[in-house]
Structure 1
């Protein structure tokens, strides 16, 4: 009889154990996946807001150019001498190096 009662008590505790384990998995997932991605997004946004006229950039499509004008939602980028295109702010990243264009 005591064995049955002990088994019943052990089974009741397993409900809490599974909830705690699930919470731990969610916490670990958040710490290693979601939080670093949020930090990277904030850093990219900060760099994008710091761009000014004359800065070298690369678009999400892979075009390198120089910012010639800054508007509210877009940049005017010169990709070749005399060739200017309008580019949405969300698709522009600071160029890693100027060696690519040489």
Structure 2
């Protein structure tokens, strides 16, 4: 084990593989995490809201997020 910076840099240069491939994998992994934590739940909520609005009919009583009660 060497504590010299030049030796450490030389060892790091020889062990690197395809340049940029690691960053490509990292960006892809971030996109997958972003998809499952943000995009997918949002599309699920939108689908539920569309179904709920489609089922509202004449004479139904609705309550808004602000607490207002109304009749369709």
- Above 0.5 in TM-score? yes
- Alignment partner for residue 22 of structure 1, among 10, 27, 43? 27
Equivalent position of 2:46 in the other structure: 41
Question: 1:9 and 1:49 mapped to 2: Cα distance?
Answer: 62
Length-normalised TM-score, structure 1: 0.51
Select the structure that is richer in helix: 2
1:29-53 deviation line (CA, Å, top 9, x unaligned): 1012111111111110111011001
Of the three residues 64, 67, 70, the one matched with 1:62 is 67
Name the one with the larger strand percent.
Answer: 1
Other-structure match for 1:77? none
Paired residues in the alignment total: 64
Asked which structure has the greater RCO (Cα within 8 Å, sep 6+), the reply is 1
Give me the TM-score of the superposition, normalised by structure 2: 0.69
Q: 5+ unaligned residues in a row in structure 2: which ranges?
A: 1-9
Deviation at 1:60, TM superposition (A): 4.6
Match of residue 11 from structure 1: 16
